[in-house]
Amino acid sequence: MRKIVTVVGARPQFIKAATLSRQFPTVGVEEIIIHTGQHFDNNMSDVFFEEMEIPRPAYHLDIHNLTHGAMTGRMLEGIEKILLKEKPDGMLVYGDTNSTLAGALAAVKLNIPVIHVEAGLRSFNMEMPEEINRTLTDRISSLLFCPTDVAVQNLKREGFEHFPARIIKNGDVMQDAALYYASKAEEKSDILQKIGGEKFVLATIHRQENTDHPEKLRNIVEGLNQIHRQVRVIVPLHPRTRKILQQLSIIPNFTIIEPVGYFDMIVLEKSCELIITDSGGVQKEAFFFGKHCITLREQTEWIELVENGFNILVGSDVEKLLQAFATFQNKKSDFSIDLYGNGHAAEKAAKDIAAF
């Protein structure tokens, strides 16, 4: 039996890991999960393991609230010790966080093959920590699972066909999760009773490119405040973003709620009129649940959503945000188009990992 160590640490990774963890027993793969602790709030971490029936981590590093360098360095040190003990056949990492890069670096320095799920994505903005993490992780990975044709082409343009790595288009494991958990979410979530029944727009704000620039954050809040005058805007607010708003004396007039678990988020996404976000994962979930999306970024890794008219990029420009909101007020789109596979991405990846 192959032994795989999986590193997770942030909310999107819990969702992605749930899909493959469910498949590994069927293909004869033993999985050891390391939780770095990057997302430390209970609503941002522990609740996901409970709701999504993810095996409890064998190791918890409890590393958070540090600068990028300090966080990545401490994770690297902690993961290396575990790898020396466990001696796995491979290291599985997801996405583009500090946990992703730390896991990949720790493994490759010990000559342990790195498996990267959600490889090949590019925003081409090297000011984003996520872009640095995903690019470096791809370069030192041996098995690269790409969710889209665009991701495959990105790797080919960067010369990956000449590297000792295997590129596989397997689809998007996030769609697997969305399809699998949608009915469970409606059974278990009471979030709609908590927020009331009127129509609403769902928004999320957490990326550093927005939260660490006061003018951008002020503009985004102003735009959401204006939209809130027309239709209620509900924002499950990341603790870090809430703290920054208080420090800058930025006053939101929209409805702020505590961070929510994945099931609550699914129900909110399925029930809202429109989604406004700077999250990569939420952009896709909007599409999965048939919602238009306004993205509070200048670039997106998911360009097929923009090209097909499901998503509009507005950055932090108030006028662009309001124009996009107006555009989507009456727009009808065909969300049945297949952009991310048919919900079997994790099944394919697990089989390829077992055979690797």
Segment 195-214, tens digit of pLDDT: 988 899 999 998 888 999 99
Q: How many CB atoms lie within 10 A of CB 299?
A: 16
Q: Is the domain defined by 180-329 classed in CATH 3.40.1480.10?
A: no
Q: How confident is the model at residue 224 (pLDDT cuts 50, 70, 90)?
A: very high
Tokens for 15, please give them. 């969702």
Segment 317-353, tens digit of pLDDT: 999 999 999 999 989 999 999 899 878 999 999 999 9
pLDDT at 48 over 70: no
CA distances from 278 to 202, 230, 299 (A): 12, 21, 10
Strands of the sheet with 293-295, listed across from one edge? 255-257, 232-236, 200-204, 274-277, 293-295, 311-313
For the chain, the average pLDDT equals 93
Please tell me the least confidently modeled range out of 48-57, 87-96, 296-305: 48-57
CA atoms within 13 A on the CB side of 153: 5
**CATH 3.40.50.2000 residue spans of the chain:** 2-172+341-355, 180-329
The pLDDT of 171-176, averaged and rounded, is 94
pLDDT at 163 over 60: yes
Instruction: Specify the pLDDT at position 304.
Output: 93
Identify the residue whose tokens are 């790409």: 146
* Top-confidence residue, 179 or 115: 115
- Out of 3.40.50.2000, 3.30.420.40, 3.40.50.1980, 3.40.50.1170, the CATH code matching 2-172+341-355 is 3.40.50.2000
Provide the annotated active-site residues: 206
pLDDT at 12 over 90: no
The pLDDT of 225-252, averaged and rounded, is 95
The pLDDT of 277-282, averaged and rounded, is 93
Question: Could you give the CA distance from residue 70 to residue 188 in angstroms, rounded to a whole number?
Answer: 38
Question: Could you give the CA distance from residue 315 to residue 334 in angstroms, rounded to a whole number?
Answer: 25
Segment 64-79, tens digit of pLDDT: 889 999 999 999 999 9
Burial of 84 (0-12, 13-18, 19+ CB in 10 A): exposed
Instruction: Specify the pLDDT at position 11.
Output: 76
pLDDT at 170 over 80: yes
Instruction: Specify the pLDDT at position 322.
Output: 98
Instruction: Specify the pLDDT at position 128.
Output: 86
The DSSP element (H or E) to which 107 belongs, if any, is helix 98-108
